[in-house]
Structure 1
Amino acid sequence: MSNPSERCYRTEQLIMNLRESSIREAVLIELNNFIIEQSTEAMRMDLGFHLWNSELTLTILLQEVVAVYPKLLDPTLTMTECTRLCNALNVIQCMASHPDARIGLLKANIPYFLNPFLRISENVMRPLRFVTLSILNLISALAKFDESYGQEILLLLLDTQVVPLCMHCILHGDQLIRKVATLILMKILMQEKGLKYCCALPARFLLVIQVLHQLVDTFTSEIPCSQQLKYVVQCCLSLSRVAWVGGVYDTVRTNFPKQLIDNTFGIITRDDPEIPNMLHQLVLNLTRQPPQ
């Protein structure tokens, strides 16, 4: 469906049908398929803009999220119910493809509606892994800091406790969940204000390093792809840059995952020539003599 007028008509039709609770589950499936059909970023942004500006759409989608709350700790939550929730989350993620919607979603405190799904224990997270993954993908879509609203988005995200929640997911999620949670953490640590937030308290700084260390330890049994390894290396590289400024050199050296620089992952790093360069800089940062 490449004709703009046809896409517009289809969008309006789906938005109207979403208001009918009796057919909403089927409409969410249809709407997700329609989102997949948008083959370019411009088309997805246009659809996201229309969804964001349509009356009641976000309210309806949040109703789908809240409806699952009573079953968060209930083993009777079905795959059908999880799929329906994921479909609703994917529509919100489509909204987030437009910059005006991104800042709007954060100002509307949307992450707070999603946080309960990220706080759950490991045994509950397993059956809800697809929901957790959808939420993390949505947060990653919101975490775009290289635009006009970028720094405001960063501060709003930090207020939602995104950092400790991502670390919880890294510790207790499966490999895919850990990968997306690490991506979000990396995006934050690459921003000056995000790095300052993570280093503001010694306990917080130490926890971030320890979580990354535990993540690297899991790579001995679950070999990461080069992309996932790159996320971890970039996180560590960002943290290593503040070792001197914050006077936490010994903390960084003691808790740093040594496997990253002892060639444990040499075969993987060859898949991406940028990783060895990052690791070389990391070694330089960690082996400099402390200033006298």
Structure 2
Amino acid sequence: MPTYFYPLMDINLTDKPLECLRLGALGVIAHMLKLPADTAVVRYLVNTSCLQHCTKAIEIGSTESKTIAVFIINKIMSTGEGLQYCCVLPDRFFFIDGLLKKLLVYLTAMGTPCPSLFNLLVGCYTNLSYKPRTRRGLRRYLPAMLFNGTFACLLAEDPAAERCRQQLIKTLEMK
């Protein structure tokens, strides 16, 4: 059933009615990942290229679409199987890292950055840091804007994001 929603996530236009369709499709997929994330659901979504379909929403969609797409990616990476899928090949890691960096740049361009999107982005980086191989990659390619005060106002307003960022720092210090 979810594969019927993927074409709606891939719409190349940003018209309001089409954006509503994209949001609805993303919402269905996100609802499948509500707590606790079922391994079978994650396996299904990974095997049907859900992450690639979230890309279009991240590249073209509204802030709400971007947030839900990152929620989906974060939930997939919060499971062992999903994280393994994202980190097993360097191409996948760099693909996801590139998406996350684009979103950080997007947040800096916003007049008022979206706190929930930022929180999810930090969560994605924290999840990626749990794998030793990707941890080494993150040490080399981690965006400085997570640590140089660019998002200080968001971190001050959201203790959960700050805790997640501190966990990321702690994990990156591990061997």
TM-score of the aligned structures, taking structure 2 as reference length: 0.89
1:181 to partner: Cα distance: 0.4
Rounded Cα–Cα distance in structure 2 between residues aligned with 1:170 and 1:157: 17
Q: Of 176, 180, 199, which aligns to 2:68? A: 180
Q: Name the aligned partner's letter for residue 211 of structure 1.
A: L
User: How far 1:192 sits from its partner (Å)?
Assistant: 0.8
Q: 1:263 Cα deviation (Å)? A: 1.8
- The AA in structure 1 aligned to 2:114 is C
Match for residue 205 of structure 1 among 87, 93, 96: 93
Amino acid at match of 1:258: A
* Structure with max Cα Rg: 1
Match of 1:269 in 2: 155
Instruction: Measure how far apart 1:285 and its partner are.
Output: 2.6
Q: What is the number of equivalent residue pairs in this alignment?
A: 173
Match of 2:28 among 127, 138, 142: 138
**Identical aligned pairs, as a percentage?**
26
Distance 2:100 2:87 in 1: 14
TM-fit CA distance, 1:145: 5.2
Q: TM-score, normalised by structure 1?
A: 0.55
- Report the residue type matching 2:153 in the other structure: I
CA distance in 1, matches of 2:106, 2:134: 29
Aligned match of 1:236 in 120, 125, 130?
125
C-alpha RMSD of matched pairs (Å): 1.9
Q: CA deviation at 1:177?
A: 0.7
Q: CA offset at residue 185 of structure 1? A: 0.7
2:50 to 162, 169, 180: 162
Amino acid at match of 1:119: D
Amino acid at match of 2:119: K
> Which consecutive unaligned segments of at least 5 residues does structure 1 have?
1-109
C-alpha distance after superposition, 1:78-125 (max 9, x if no partner)? xxxxxxxxxxxxxxxxxxxxxxxxxxxxxxxx122111122233xx24
Counterpart-to-counterpart distance in 2, 1:237 and 1:163: 18
TM-fit CA distance, 1:169: 1.5
Please point out which of 197, 221, 225 is paired with 2:109: 221
1:260 match: 146
The alpha carbon displacement at 1:202 in A equals: 1.0
Gapped runs of 5+ residues in structure 2?
A: none
**Against the structure 1 CA distance between its residues 185 and 247, is the aligned structure 2 distance closer, same or farther, given a 3 Å change threshold?**
closer
Q: Where does structure 1 differ by over 4 angstroms across 4 or more consecutive aligned residues? A: none
